[in-house]
Every structure is written in C-alpha cells, then in structure tokens.
Amino acid sequence: MALRNNLAGVLLAGGLGSRMAADGQGADKPLRLLGSTTLLGHAIARMAPQVAALVLNANGDPARFATFGLDVVADAIPGHPGPLAGILAGMRWAATRGFADVMSIPTDTPFLPPDLASRLNAARHAANVPLACAASGGWTHPVIGIWPVSLADVLEADLRAGIRKIDAWTARHGITSAEFSTNPFDPFFNVNRPEDLAEAERMLATP
C-alpha cells in the first residue's frame, strides 16, 4: 500500500502559546494570520497532500476551529504534559480509522517541505528503526516525525509514568532523522513569538 494511504497527519496545537501572547493579541497561535492565511491554514496546506487524513490536536473549545472542517482531539493525558500527549491522541484517532502510522507537525511551522512524509519514511526504513524525525541546520526537530500507531499503548503507559521529553522516549524505541536543506531558509522555522511572525512574513515573500 502506498505510504500516503496508510498515513494520517496530526496537527499539534495543544500548547499554551504563552510567548506569542506577549503582544497582547491572544495566545491562540494557530489562528494568527501569516499573509492572508492562518498559521493553521498554512500547516494544513503543506500537510494535506502528504497524508490520507488530518486530525487537529487542540485543547479547549474545539468550536473555534470549526471552519477548518477537521476532527479535533484533546490531549490524551490531562495537565498539559507536552507534545507526546498530542501525538498519542492522534495515534488513538488514527487507530480507529485503520491507519498504521501518523506524522506529527506543530501548527506553527508554515514552510514544511512537500516531501516530508516520503523522506521520513525512507529514512526509518533505511535505518531499520520504527521512528524518524526531521533535521536541518545541525538541529533535530523531534516533534516533526513519523510514529507507528502500534506504539500507542507503550506511549500512554510511559506518559502516565511521568515521561515527558520526546528524545528520551524515542531513544527507547529506535529513531533516525532525515536531513533537509536550509536554503533559502529553514523549512522547519517555527513561529513562537511576535517577532518570529514578522520574520515569517519576510520568508513568505522570498521568491
């Protein structure tokens, strides 16, 4: 079966967005505009062609995302334990729909590469490990990765036991990375602060 047919995308928007809220315009970062489109809209546009289905991980009232037409799932573990909980929620959603893998991305990365899924999948198969994450400019991006749905029970048990750091968890199961070019800019640039949004506007205008 083709990769796309068996892959669901998980858009992670479960964070508190406190750094973005510093400009007084609110902490609902995925709904902030970049150009004429929200950050979430950019993420959907980049992700949708690479996966068979999309789900949004977000806490709070899901109605604020109704215009996007996506299922919204809250963190699987209460108390804002971090992105692993959102990935787990996406895994559980994907499992009920028969998907073998999920690819996770944060919704504040509007410039994701169009071959992200295929290259992550190729990297993990080449290394004979179950997990792969993106890398660029000498840094790994552990939240941007492919995760087998079969690891959901293990992930939930570890989260309930107090595991929070992604690197600590993935190291237990075997992970590799796929390296992406930073020319003309890093495709994994993420918008955390108001000044990042201004920089993203300049990047958006780059030919």
82's torsion region: left (phi>0), alpha (psi -120 to 50) or beta? left
Averaged pLDDT, 31-59: 97
Identify which has the larger pLDDT, 17 or 125: 125
Residue 140 in tokens: 């790994």
**146-205 pLDDT, tens digit each:** 999 999 999 999 999 999 999 999 999 999 999 999 999 999 999 999 999 999 999 999
Q: Tokens representing 48?
A: 């949708």
**What pLDDT does residue 28 have?**
86
Is the domain covering 3-204 a CATH 1.10.10.10 domain? no
The model's pTM: 0.92
pLDDT confidence tier of residue 18, bands split at 50, 70 and 90: very low
**Residue 206 pLDDT:** 83
pLDDT at 181: 98
pLDDT of residue 147: 98
Per the structure block, which two tokens stand in for 154? 């293990």
Smallest Cα–Cα separation from 31: which of 51, 58, 10? Answer: 58
Tabulate helix, strand, coil % of the chain (nearest 5). Answer: 40, 20, 35
DSSP strands (E only) in the chain: 7-12, 33-34, 37-38, 53-57, 71-73, 101-106, 131-136, 139-148, 175-180
pLDDT of the residue at 38: 97
DSSP H or E segment with residue 69: none
- Helices 152-160 and 83-95 meet at what angle, rounded to 10? 150
pLDDT at 20 over 80: no
Q: What is the mean pLDDT of the chain?
A: 93
- Tell me the percentage of the chain whose pLDDT exceeds 90: 87
**Structure confidence at residue 15 (pLDDT):** 67
pLDDT of residue 27: 55
Placement of tokens 């990365």 in the chain: 109
Domain ranges of the chain: 3-204
The pLDDT, as a whole number, for residue 60 is 92
Report residue 99: phi and psi, to 5°. -85, 145
Q: Amino acid identity of 184?
A: P
Q: What pLDDT is stored for residue 2 in this prediction?
A: 73
Contacts of 32 by beta carbon, 8 Å cutoff, 6+ apart: 20, 25, 38, 39, 191, 197
Backbone angles phi, psi at 118, to 5 degrees: -65, -35
